[in-house]
Amino acid sequence: MSDERDSRGGRGAGKAADKEKGGRRGGFFRRRRVCKFCVEKIDYINYKDVKLIAPFIPERGKIQPRRISGVCATHQRALQTAIKRARQIALVPYTTD
Amino acid sequence: MSAVRQYELIYITPPEITDEALAEVHTQVQAVVDRFGGTIEKTENWGRRRLAYEIGRQREGTYVLEVINGPGALTTELDRRLRVLDAVIRHLIVRVDEDLAVAERSRVRRKEDLAKRRVKRGLPPEPTESERHRREDDDDDADGPELGFRAERGDR
């Protein structure tokens, strides 16, 4: 039982719930995300690792909110400092336009 | 009251810097570190890299990483010196020992927890090779591009 939604019913029910949750308007479907750092058991989010943090920096250069990315609070905090440090040494942009 | 701490210093120099000038910066750093009784654990030259934004009309830079062990007082001096140097266009000093210790602790704790749970279920503490493969895919959702949404651009 990795997810509380699974307990509601088998496979089919879980999927339906997913659709309901993310499938609003315009068929833009997104499933419930899990924290990447928890899944991959990353304890230290290294600010020098651009490949690791790049997925959390959308086009505009802002830090992606966790309501979008699904990162847990603990890791979002760590990610935030990592991104801010990376910005200072020009590994990651402050803004892009 | 001068505990040894670990710091990471990263500095960026213009890409066209000569090797001598780069060595000169390194010696200056070394001198400051020595004066405070610290040691440089490792020096890593990342070479020429594209900057994410322009710094003083530079679009590229040479990155150097130095891992330093020493007292905290050293950072202030290092910071002051590096700010004055023309060869260094940007630098950053970060204390890392605490963060690494925390990471290590949670890694160890996770491993112990796993072992404990497994022993409870009457299994050997370490997962076997075949189990590990199964574990990777025991959830029921499709393993699509899970978190690879948008911004899938590695290094630019």
* A14/B99 Cβ within 8 A: no
Please give the radius of gyration of chain A, using alpha carbons only, rounded to the nearest integer.
Answer: 16
Domain that holds residue B70: 5-98
Model-wide pTM > 0.90:
no
Nearest chain A alpha carbon to B106: A43
State the pLDDT at residue B139.
53
Report how many Cβ contacts below 8 Å link chain A to chain B. Answer: 77
Q: Which parts of chain A sit beneath pLDDT 50?
A: 1-24
CB B89 within 8 A of CB B14: yes
The strand pairing partners of B45, in sequence order, are: B64
What domains are defined for chain A? 32-97 (4.10.640.10)
DSSP label at B66?
A: E
pLDDT at B9 over 50: yes
| Percent of all residues in chain B with a pLDDT value above 90, rounded to a whole number | 66
- Adjacency order of strands within the sheet including B5-13: B39-55, B58-70, B5-13, B90-95
Tokens 């570190």 found at? B33
Mutation pick from A43, A59, A87 vs chain B, by most beta carbons of B within 10 Å, is: A43
- Which residues have a Cβ under 8 Å from the Cβ of B131 and sit 6 or more positions away? none
Nearest to residue B71, comparing CAs of B2, B9, B118?
B2
Burial B126-156 (b: 16+ CB within 10 A, else e): eeeeeeeeeeeeeeebeeeeebeeeeeeeee
Tell me what percent of chain A is helix, strand and coil, each rounded to the nearest 5. Answer: 50, 0, 50
Give residue-wise pLDDT tens across range B121-149.
888 877 777 766 665 555 555 554 444 43
Question: Does residue B103 lie within any of the structural domains?
Answer: no
* A50/B155 Cβ within 8 A: yes
Of residues B82 and B125, more confidence is placed in B82
**Domain total in chain B:** 1
Question: Does residue B67 lie within any of the structural domains?
Answer: yes
Residue B78 belongs to domain with CATH number:
3.30.70.60
A55 CA: distance to closest CA in chain B (Å): 5
State the pLDDT at residue B126.
78
Question: Does residue B120 lie within any of the structural domains?
Answer: no
